[in-house]
Amino acid sequence: MLGLLVLLNTHKGSQEIAQLADDLDLEVDEILPSVEFAEGLGLATVSDGRLTFTPEGRKLIGATIRERKTQLRELLKKTTLFRSILRAMESAPDRMLSEEDLSQLISFTNAPAETVSQVITWGRYTGLFRYDANEHMVAPLRTRPVRPSPPIAVPPAGTSVPAASETLRAGPPKTSTALLAAVEACGA
């Protein structure tokens, strides 16, 4: 879909679908799923066989890759299918869904069977969820653990702490002879 929208942009944002297919060396029916997906997300409209950007589509094409992912993530969250997937993941005991679970959710729509792999691809691309290929499961993205700051060493009572200017004047720490020998052995 993104490739189709990039091509549409080279046609100043509006072109006959048949011409877009010809430019891609594809049959019209081969690009229709991408056309429908773009239209479903509100990125383009189809009228009289012509695909035309919406303001949202123009915004997407003018954005950076990171901004595109964010915009697409927000658009996908508004779709019934992705809202259902995210809700099912939240309510699952382990917060994970198998490909079979996804397939069952998709079966309630009129989407084709290959939709499961497309859902996984778009969910991963936009950061809606992660996919474990070994387990064939989707799960919420892991948040990076916040590492606590190292504890501040408080000197025992009665000891003096050198001022910052004294520490700076002392120069860099001395390098160990073992480290110097290793560096010299490498020819550095």
Give the pTM.
0.68
Three-state DSSP at 161 gives coil
- Domain ranges in the chain are 2-61, 65-139
The stretch 152-168 carries a mean pLDDT of 55
| Fold category of 2-61 in CATH | Arc Repressor Mutant, subunit A (1.10.10)
The stretch 23-27 carries a mean pLDDT of 93
Residue 141 near residue 129 (C-beta atoms within 8 A): yes
pLDDT tens string 112-128: 767 888 899 999 999 99
Question: Tokens at residue 142, please?
Answer: 């892991």
CA neighbor of 111 nearest in space, from 88, 84, 75, 77: 84
The stretch 52-61 carries a mean pLDDT of 96
Question: Tokens at residue 3, please?
Answer: 């490739």
Q: Distance between CA atoms of 99 and 88, rounded to whole angstroms?
A: 13
pLDDT tens string 126-142: 999 999 989 899 998 86
Mean pLDDT, rounded, of the chain: 80
CATH fold match for the domains 2-61 and 65-139: yes
pLDDT in the model for residue 186? 41
Q: What class is the 65-139 domain?
A: mainly alpha
